Amino acid sequence: MDIVRFIFLIVVVAFGNLLYKSYQHDHPQGIAKIPLPLAVLNFVIFLLASSVLYVFSSPLYISTHPYIVTAFLATSVLWIAAPWLVRTYGEYPKEVIEKHPKWFGLRCEPRTFYLKYFEVLFQQSTFLYILSTVLVDGSMPVRLIGFTLIIAIFHLVNLMFISRKEGMIFFWFSIPMGIIFGYLILHGYIFVTYTIHLWFYLIFSGRHWFLKRVK
């Protein structure tokens, strides 16, 4: 592990998350009711931090196969349309939202939903930086284990800002996904991991709007 570059990563991650996580921690509904100007500021911060990590990442093969890029772009378009689609065809999950007021994604409001897209972009740039620049030595299994441990620790830090239940859900998911994402990114499939990452939140947030109708 390159310690200097790891410290640089921590600084950038802290910069990218400080305002976002602080607002989550300080408000009863997290960022569910975040003011538009602050949401825009967070968007700029995520974009800036992502750009810094991408610029300072070491070269790594990235597959741009048409099917992969098309799936990513189609998912992005669906993400943009999701708040309208879910609110039009789903049923407002009032009980779930009252029980988990900080699960802002459940509300499927454009302001926070679009902000989440750029948070995922920031997370993906973090993954790329770790695997291409921080963990550059050792065999693939060693790098995957190191990557998974770092990602799991990052998710545990979330417990300082969000509910324990929500934080532990993401923590346990981060372990198998760390291995899967690490393997895919090292083989050039970062757009695949970005697409999977987006679909995870689409399903996690949107499913509650349709559960009653399915029943």
**Are the CB atoms for 204 and 138 separated by under 8 Å?**
no
Give pTM, 2 decimals: 0.88
**183-197 pLDDT per residue, tens:** 999 999 999 999 999
Q: How far is CA 175 from CA 11, 31, 44, in A?
A: 23, 26, 29
Give the pLDDT score at 59. 84
Show the DSSP H helices in 57-163 as ranges: 66-89, 94-99, 110-129, 140-157
**72-99 pLDDT per residue, tens:** 999 999 999 998 998 888 888 888 888 8
**Are the CB atoms for 155 and 170 separated by under 8 Å?**
yes
What are 76's two structure tokens? Answer: 């992005």
Q: How confident is the model at residue 213 (pLDDT cuts 50, 70, 90)?
A: low
- Helix, strand, coil share of the chain (percent; to 5): 80, 0, 20
Pick the closest to residue 58 from 139, 138, 130, 137 (CA basis). 130
Give the pLDDT score at 18. 85
**9-48 pLDDT per residue, tens:** 999 999 988 888 877 777 777 777 788 888 889 999 999 9
**Are the CB atoms for 198 and 75 separated by under 8 Å?**
yes
Cα 156 from chain centroid (whole Å): 14
> Helix or strand or coil: residue 114?
helix
